[in-house]
């Protein structure tokens, strides 16, 4: 398991060691001791799994009061997984990073507390599995609109409109959103 940097220092790509053989492959997807050694959280309290068809876009989501760090992987298909720094004190406030996660590349993205998270399905469908450091708290849920020009995420939509939830379609822009201190 190794860690690769992204353009945002606190957001990390985790690349597991994949053992391939005639049967297929084996990999450790999370190991508390190894994560601790790498300076990543070793405690998660909730696992989530969603399936989406293309071009579904979920996000950009975060929780205020009960912020969640998320360890995200794509177990079927492929997604562009995006993290946006929403910590107002941060030099990277409002900046985003996008990483392709797929069932083939086995990569995971560590999205820390203080970041909004979202993803776009790149093919016909994708299943996404992620571990969270805190519980879902609907009253703490917040979102920022996926196409906020101030954040300017370069979603690879190729002219298509994304499929959004009703909630995500009416999310506020960053300027109107409640963010972290």
The residue ranges that bind ligand TDO (CB under 6 A) are 48, 50, 58-59, 61, 70, 117-119, 136, 165
Residue 17 or residue 167: which is nearer to ligand TDO going by CB?
Answer: 167
136 is catalytic: no
Rounded least distance, CB 18 to ligand TDO, Å: 25
Spatial distance between the Cα atoms of 36 and 43, rounded to a whole number of angstroms = 9
123, 141 Cβ separation under 8 angstroms: no
CA distance 161 to 156: 11
User: Does residue 130 have an active-site annotation?
Assistant: yes
**Which one of the listed residues 49, 61, 106, 136 is annotated catalytic?**
61
Q: How many CB atoms lie within 10 A of CB 78?
A: 20
Q: Smallest distance, Å, CB 73 to ligand TDO?
A: 13
Q: How far is the CB of 119 from ligand TDO (least distance, A)?
A: 6
* CB contact at 8 A, 127 and 133: no
| Smaller CB separation from ligand TDO, 28 or 46 | 46
Between CA 122 and CA 98 the distance in angstroms is 12
Task: Identify which of residues 34 and 129 has a Cβ nearer to ligand TDO in the complex.
Answer: 129
Helix or strand holding residue 32 (H, E): helix 32-37
**Smallest gap, in angstroms, from Cβ of residue 57 to ligand TDO?**
9
Catalytic residue (choose from 89, 130, 136, 180): 130
57-63 and 96-102 beta bridge pairing: unpaired
Q: Which is nearer to ligand TDO, 31 or 50 (CB)?
A: 50
Active-site residues, by number, are 61, 130
């Amino acid at each position: 398991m190794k860690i690769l940097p992204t353009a945002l220092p606190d957001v990390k790509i985790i690349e597991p060691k994949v053992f391939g053989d005639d049967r297929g492959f084996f990999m450790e997807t999370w190991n508390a001791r190894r994560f601790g050694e790498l300076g990543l959280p070793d405690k998660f309290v909730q696992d989530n799994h969603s399936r989406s068809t293309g071009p579904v876009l979920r996000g950009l989501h975060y929780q205020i009061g009960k912020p969640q760090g998320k360890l995200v992987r794509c177990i079927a298909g492929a997604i562009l997984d995006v993290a946006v720094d929403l910590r107002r004190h941060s030099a990277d406030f409002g900046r985003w990073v996008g990483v392709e996660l797929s069932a083939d590349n086995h990569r995971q993205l560590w999205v820390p507390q203080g970041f909004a998270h979202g993803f776009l399905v790149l093919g016909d469908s994708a299943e996404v599995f992620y571990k969270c450091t805190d519980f879902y708290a609907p009253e703490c849920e917040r979102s920022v609109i996926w196409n906020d020009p101030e954040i300017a995420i370069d979603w690879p939509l190729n002219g298509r409109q994304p499929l959004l939830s009703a909630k995500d379609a009416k999310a506020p822009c960053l300027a109107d959103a409640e963010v972290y201190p």
